[in-house]
Amino acid sequence: MTVTVDLSGRVAVVTGGTRGVGAGIARAFLEAGAEVVVCARRPPEERIEVEGRTARFLPLDLRDPDAVDTFVTRVKSEHGRLDTLVNNAGGTPFRLLADGGAARHARVLELNLTTPLTASLAAYGVMRDQERGGSILMIGSVSGGRPSPGTAAYGAAKAGLDSLARSMAVEWAPRVRVNTLVLGMVRTELSHLHYGDDAGIAAVGRTVPAGRLAEPADVGDACVFLASDRAAYITGASLLVHGGGERPAFLDAATVNRDAPPPPPRPETANKES
C-alpha cells in the first residue's frame, strides 16, 4: 500500500524559510501540494520551487509584533486561510556566557522563544475560526535538553519552546494542534562554518548513530507528516529528529576490549561467612 500525504488546498507559512532547514521545509510542503509562504528579513538568494511551483516570499521582522499581525492578516486575506505555521526562524552565534552581557543573551532568547510565541498567537487568531483548525510546529533542538556551552541562551530558549508548545497544545485543543520537532545536527550550506570541509562534516556525521547529519529534506518530511491528517491525534508531542542522538562519550573512553572473551566468573564469596 502506498501512503501519500496530500496537502493540496492548504496554506503553510515557514518563518526563516529562505535558506537551510527552512528552505528544506518549504520545499517539502510544496512537494505535498500546499501553497507556501516564507518570510524573513531578507529575500532568498534563489527561488524556492518544486516542479514549477514556487514558495511566495514576504519580508518580515518577527521581532515586531505589529508587523507579525499585519503579515498574518495579509496571508489570510490573500490566500484565504492559514493551515500550518512552522516556527523555524532562529539561531545564535557562539558566545560563552561570561563573554556577553545579559542584553546580548536576551536577544538570543527573544529570537528563539519570544518570536515563535508572537507568531503563534497571531496564527491562532486565524486558525481558531477555521473549520479545520490548524497546526503549529516549533523547530526545537537537542540543545534544549542537554548542556550547551557556548550557546547556553539558545539552549535555554529551545527548552522553553518545547514547554511552551505543550502548554499551547492544551490551551488551544482541539482546534489547533501544536508539536515540536527536536533537531540534532543538520547539513546545510553553512555547515562548513561549524564542521570544516567535507571530510570534517563526514567525520561529525559518523558520531551520529544514523551515520550522517540530517538533510533539510528529512526535517521537511517530518513537518509535512505532523501537519497532515495522518497526525490528527498528535498534539503536545516532541518528535526527535536527530538520527539516534549523540554517541555517549563513555563508550569511546572505555578501555574494554570488546573482541576479547569475557573474564571467568568470580567466586561467590560475598554472602559467605568467614
173: helix, strand or coil = coil
- 124, 154, 195, 233: the catalytic one is 154
Active site residue 154: yes
At which residue does the C-alpha cell 515586531 appear? Answer: 64
Long-range contacts of residues 162-170, Cβ cutoff 8 Å, at least 24 apart: 162/138, 162/238, 164/113, 164/116, 164/117, 164/138, 165/136, 165/138, 165/140, 165/236, 165/238, 166/236, 168/120, 168/124, 168/136, 169/235, 169/236, 170/236
- Given a contact cutoff of 8 angstroms between Cβ atoms, the answer to whether 102 and 51 are in contact is no
Strands 49-50 and 53-54: antiparallel
The sign one gets for the Cα dihedral 190, 191, 192, 194 is: positive
Contact 161, 116 (CB under 8 A): yes
**CA-wise closest residue to 117 among 38, 178, 26, 76:** 178
Catalogue the active-site residues. Answer: 154
